[in-house]
Amino acid sequence: MLIGMVAGEASGDFLGAELITALRERRTDLRFAGIGGPRMRSAGLESWFPMERLAVRGYAEVLRSYPALWAMRQALKSRMAAARPALFVGVDAPDFNLSVEASLKRRGIPTVHYVSPSVWAWRSGRVRSIGRAIDHLLALFPFEPEIYRRAGIPATFVGHPMADEIAPNPPAYAAREQLRLPAGARVYALLPGSRASELRYMAETFAMAARRVAERVRHPRFVVPFASRETRQIFEEALFRAGANELPFTLLFGHAREALAACDAALVASGTATLEAALIARPMVITYRMSAITWKIMSRLQLQPWVGLPNIIAGEFLVPEILQDEATPENLADALVRVSEDPAIHQRLPARFAGIHAVLKRGASQRAAEAVLSCLKPC
């Protein structure tokens, strides 16, 4: 029996792989095909197109890539329609997946969307169009299902798989030993994003912020995990332009969790990595930069004051957010040094992060698998 699946970036690849594993534990007759990254392929997905082509964020950025994305989506729709999967699961990537889901739903194929689009943050009018595309929604956060139920859309809160995987507040020394970081260093994790498009906007700012931190802190060490060779190359070029290539950097492929566990504080591009840092219980500064056009549009549509997931879940500014024009190297360095050294922050944050961890730890992949299997019958 074939299950269609599509993920569009590293976080979706993780969620999709965990779901495939949980489904295979329950049904040995299932096959999986669509679009996924290395984790989903390792779990058993036959990927028809490279996932990296979908890793584009922002209005202006998507417009530049639109012809190629449109062609790939049309080809995927045709191939899925011909394959007639028993069910299709779109993992996040709503701007791509909802169109695919709507097309398949019209053909009588049950559709599930895993990860709610951020209708609680911006573009709340999308709820009705989401309902026309999907039969069931799997929500990562507890406040999401009620939004969909009010619109008549079945939704299940499954929790977040990262909360199931990550031990709360892991000891820093173990991660530092694993990464061979020098004893006595003040360690800063820099996570400038998993997409090449994000690095092009933020890499140089992160590099220059590291220079400012190094001017103020004794024995700093900067740890930077990357999702691909392309993103590492973009960052290395930014280090050279910023005159920061002589600073003590440890550049990694993957190992984002180890980098976060090892650090005294993290500078994180807004996204799933902010939740990862909160589950590991490390102080952080959230930042983001994008094209001026995209920022202007999104600012007008924004429904709440927070963009970082820890702050959204908490309903308050647990950690600082420094965005767009305010995200200068000086501002980021000041905030990063402060959150790493302020005793009040280190006393307050762990308990608040532990509360987030407890809410999200629900056996997410198992719950998601049960919901998906229930949709093999009429949802």
Is 219 found in the same domain as 102? Answer: no
Q: In what order do the strands lie in the sheet with 249-253?
A: 249-253, 220-226, 186-191, 265-269, 284-288, 321-323
Output the pLDDT for position 270: 84
Is 349 found in the same domain as 260? Answer: yes
Report how far residue 18's alpha carbon sits from residue 249's, in angstroms, rounded to the nearest whole number. Answer: 32
Instruction: Please compute the mean of the pLDDT values over residues 160-174 and round it to a whole number.
Output: 92
Is 97 found in the same domain as 221? Answer: no
191-243 confidence digits (pLDDT tens): 999 888 889 989 999 999 999 999 999 999 999 999 889 999 999 999 999 99
Asked whether 360 and 297 are in contact (CB, 8 A), the reply is no
68-90 confidence digits (pLDDT tens): 888 999 999 999 999 999 999 99
Q: Which long-range CB contacts under 8 A does 114-120 form with residues at least 24 apart?
A: 114/15, 114/16, 114/19, 114/89, 114/90, 114/138, 114/368, 115/12, 115/15, 115/91, 115/139, 115/140, 116/140, 116/141, 116/144, 116/147, 116/148, 116/155, 119/147, 120/144, 120/147, 120/303, 120/304, 120/312
Q: Is 53 part of any domain?
A: yes
The model's confidence at residue 297, banded by pLDDT at 50, 70 and 90, is: low
Q: Is 190 part of any domain?
A: yes
Asked whether 85 and 110 are in contact (CB, 8 A), the reply is no
Output the pLDDT for position 122: 56
Report how far residue 361's alpha carbon sits from residue 225's, in angstroms, rounded to the nearest whole number. Answer: 25
Output the pLDDT for position 11: 83
The region of weakest confidence among 136-150, 188-202, 287-301 is: 287-301
Report how far residue 15's alpha carbon sits from residue 51's, in angstroms, rounded to the nearest whole number. Answer: 14
Give the residue from 97, 80, 98 showing the smallest Cα distance to 34: 80
Using alpha carbons, list the distances in angstroms from residue 265 to 119, 133, 337, 338, 346.
30, 41, 8, 9, 10
Instruction: Please compute the mean of the pLDDT values over residues 27-54 and round it to a whole number.
Output: 94
Residue 241 belongs to domain with CATH number: 3.40.50.2000
Q: Which two tokens stand for residue 208?
A: 């220059």
Is 41 found in the same domain as 7? Answer: yes
In the block, tokens 């999104």 appear at 298
Q: Is 166 part of any domain?
A: no
Which of residues 65 and 134 earns the better pLDDT score?
Answer: 134
Report how far residue 19's alpha carbon sits from residue 26's, in angstroms, rounded to the nearest whole number. Answer: 11
Report how far residue 373's alpha carbon sits from residue 145's, in angstroms, rounded to the nearest whole number. Answer: 19
The model's confidence at residue 127, banded by pLDDT at 50, 70 and 90, is: confident
Q: Is 322 part of any domain?
A: yes
Q: Is 167 part of any domain?
A: no
* C-beta atoms surrounding 12 within 10 Å: 28
Output the pLDDT for position 120: 61
Is 190 found in the same domain as 150? Answer: no
Give the residue from 308, 211, 210 showing the smallest Cα distance to 265: 210
Q: Is 164 part of any domain?
A: no
Is 150 found in the same domain as 125? Answer: yes
Is 76 found in the same domain as 63? Answer: yes
170-186 confidence digits (pLDDT tens): 999 999 999 999 988 99
302-356 confidence digits (pLDDT tens): 556 788 999 999 989 999 999 988 999 999 999 999 999 999 998 999 999 999 9
For a pLDDT cut of 90, what percent of the chain falls above it?
75
Is 316 found in the same domain as 237? Answer: yes
Q: Considering its fold, how many domains does the chain have in total? A: 2
315 CB burial (10 A radius; 0-12, 13-18, 19+): exposed
Is 322 found in the same domain as 257? Answer: yes
Q: By residue range, what is the domain housing residue 152?
A: 2-159+362-374
Q: Is 165 part of any domain?
A: no
Average pLDDT of the chain is 91
Report how far residue 85's alpha carbon sits from residue 109's, in angstroms, rounded to the nearest whole number. Answer: 7
Report how far residue 78's alpha carbon sits from residue 365's, in angstroms, rounded to the nearest whole number. Answer: 29
Is 288 found in the same domain as 218? Answer: yes
Output the pLDDT for position 60: 46
Instruction: Please compute the mean of the pLDDT values over residues 56-62 and round it to a whole number.
Output: 49
Answer positive or negative: Cα dihedral of 372, 374, 377, 378: negative
3-state class of 114 per DSSP?
A: strand
3-state class of 183 per DSSP?
A: coil
The region of weakest confidence among 52-61, 259-268, 362-371 is: 52-61
Q: Which two tokens stand for residue 24?
A: 């295979």
Is 12 found in the same domain as 153? Answer: yes
Is 155 found in the same domain as 188? Answer: no
357-371 confidence digits (pLDDT tens): 999 999 999 999 999
Q: Is 379 part of any domain?
A: no
Asked whether 231 and 256 are in contact (CB, 8 A), the reply is no
